[in-house]
Structures are given as C-alpha cells and as structure tokens.
Structure 1
C-alpha cells in the first residue's frame, strides 16, 4: 500500500516547493508533479499518477483544487479511485476517504458544492426570466440601427447589390442583414 502524491501549479512561474514539501512530510512514496492549468483536459502527470496507483494505495494532494478542474471533475476522479479501491487524502482539508468519516465528509462537501452550483444556475435563470418580463433580452447590442436597417432595405430593393455586398457595407454578417430584412417584412 503506497501513498502517491500529486502536486500541480498553473504556470511555470509558480513554485511547487510548498506542495512537494507537504507531500514528502506526509510520507508519500512517489510524487507526480504537473505544470498545467487545472482547466486543461490533458494533465499527463495526473494521468501517470492515476495509472501508477493500485488497489489499496492512496492518492495524496495538498488541496482538492489541485486535483480537480471542477466539482463534477473532482467527483469523477474520486469515484474512479473508489471503484479501484484507491483512497484519496487532501492534507489541508483533513479529508481521507480511506476512513468512513472521511468518505462521508468528502461526499458532503461535494454535495454542498453541487447544491451551490445548482442554486447559482437557478438564480441566473430566474434573473433572465425577470429581465425578459421587463422587455430586456440577452445578447449583445444590435449592430444595425433603424437607419442602417432602412438603408440596407433600400439597397436590397434596388436589386443591384448582393446581400454580401450590403453586409460588407455595414460591417455585419449576411445573417444580420437577412434578420433585419425579415423583421422589416414582418412589421408590415
């Protein structure tokens, strides 16, 4: 049963010493080191550490945020470790999934984080619905003013300009021109 450490910093300029010192103090038999952003899908040192681990081993990190890109990603990694019979320890948070209390604590933290995320999503949806009810709509500002839309309509009706030429004149896409032409027709 080995303790395997994993340390990660986001940039080359950041220093790993504090993490590696803590992992060595935790008696890790081997430490994998990563210089990569946590949001990157490819983290070769983490992949190597996960491949290295065997049933009965424990993956040790200084903090949970060094391991996962998000709560969902962290839960996926922890569930994968659990299926393989590998424990997880986060030193600064006092989490050790090799114990029943540690597993409970980890799952409670994950559930709270997931609940918090769901609340944020719900509040965002409610805020957008309230804004729509007040007549506001999302997205960027319209690139075509009413005057520009009338000029585009006039150019289109002359039948001497292509839609692409009209779009180039106003610095917008063909889709924007078509959308304003359709709005103009539907308002009649």
Structure 2
C-alpha cells in the first residue's frame, strides 16, 4: 500500500502540485502539512505511524521529508526497521532496492553539502558587509545626544520610563534602553 506525504514551508505556498502528483501515482492515503522543516511535523509522524510492513511512503521530493542527511538516515532506518520503503516521484529513489538506497543517500549528502555551502556564503557576505561598516539589526531610536537627554530626565526629573517615552515621542522600552545605554556608557 502507498502512503503519501506532502509538505510546504509556509502558509503562502500550496501543496496542490505535490498532492496532484501523489494522486496520479496511485496514492490514496496522503498526509499534508504547511510547516517549516525545522519545527514539529505532526502529519509526518502520522504518516510514519500509518506504515506497516510492505507499505511504501511516497513523497514528491526527498527534501520535503528530511532536514539533513542525519535526519534522512534516521527516517530511512525507521522505515527499514518497520518493513516499509520510501519512493520519490521526482528523483530516482526507491528504497525497496539496494541501488535505490544508495541513490537516496547520495542525494541526501549532496543536499547537505549544498546547504553548508550556502551557509558559508551567507556568513562570508555578513563578514564582508561588517568590514564595510554595515550594521545589522534595527536602527536605534535615539542618537547619543537623545540618550543623554533621556538619562537626564530619568535621573534629575524623577520621571518614569513611560513618562520619558511620552515626552520624547517613543515607547517605554525605547526610553528605558536609551537610559541603560547612557548608564553603561558612563561606567
């Protein structure tokens, strides 16, 4: 028996392409979800629980199933120990044969390598940007002069952060952070 699993990463994406392909492949029981590969995947766990010896888990692409090579190998072992196999509709993967398992492991290793290279490139880009003076994160609400003014209002005016924020047209937290920065600067 065939059990299908489809996943997209965000609510803006649609599973329809995957669902249509799974149905065209003869899959009648399909578990689908819209969730990141990082968070919990309850439908995947339901699909895995539905598998019995001789069943096949069918996915549109292997990357819809596993987060990393380690995760993929763990899922493969779980399928193998339960007597089930895995088949991908868009890749030459069918773990009911030794060759299919080899191809799956190679594809998983290549995908993990690709993610590592992307991560390295992103980090190199961030390092280069910092070297050029680019600052990441939200822009500060106050200049150093305004930090001093908030500090003066806090220490001399006996005003609360909420009152300072109201006077300066910013939130309570922006006023509090300005005072804390000035305190840290004066130490």
Residues 64-143 of structure 1 mapped to structure 2, 5 A cutoff: 64-65=62-63, 67-68=64-65, 70-71=67-68, 73-143=71-141
Match of 1:148, SS state, is: helix
Given candidates 30, 34, 42, the residue that maps to 1:33 is: 30
Given candidates 48, 60, 63, the residue that maps to 2:61 is: 63
Q: Give 1:7 deviation, angstroms.
A: 4.5
- Residue 48 of structure 2 corresponds to 50
**How many correspondences in the alignment?**
176
Structure 2 Cα separation of the partners of residues 163 and 124 of structure 1: 38
Match of 1:140, SS state, is: coil
The alignment status of 1:21 with 2:24, answered yes or no, reads yes
Q: Give 1:38 deviation, angstroms.
A: 4.2
Q: Give 1:183 deviation, angstroms.
A: 4.8
Structure 2 Cα separation of the partners of residues 109 and 172 of structure 1: 52
Gaps of 5+ in 2: none
Structure 2 Cα separation of the partners of residues 83 and 109 of structure 1: 21
Please report the RMSD computed on the Cα atoms of aligned residues, expressed in angstroms.
3.0
Residues 126-165 of structure 1 mapped to structure 2, 5 A cutoff: 126-165=124-163
Q: Deviations over 1:64-111 (max 9, x none)?
A: 34x426346545433421343421111221211121211111111111
- Residue 171 of structure 1 corresponds to 171
- Residue 2 of structure 2 corresponds to 4
Q: Deviations over 1:48-79 (max 9, x none)?
A: 332232334322233334x4263465454334
Match of 2:2, SS state, is: strand
| TM-score (structure 2 length as normaliser) | 0.74
Q: Is the 8 A contact 1:59 1:86 kept in 2?
A: yes
Q: Is the 8 A contact 1:163 1:177 kept in 2?
A: no
Q: Give 1:126 deviation, angstroms.
A: 2.1
Match of 2:96, SS state, is: coil
Q: Is the 8 A contact 2:56 2:85 kept in 1?
A: yes
Q: Deviations over 1:142-179 (max 9, x none)?
A: 11123422321221231421234324542251552244
Gaps of 5+ in 1: none
Q: Point out the more displaced range, 7-16 or 89-98.
A: 7-16
| TM-score (structure 1 length as normaliser) | 0.74
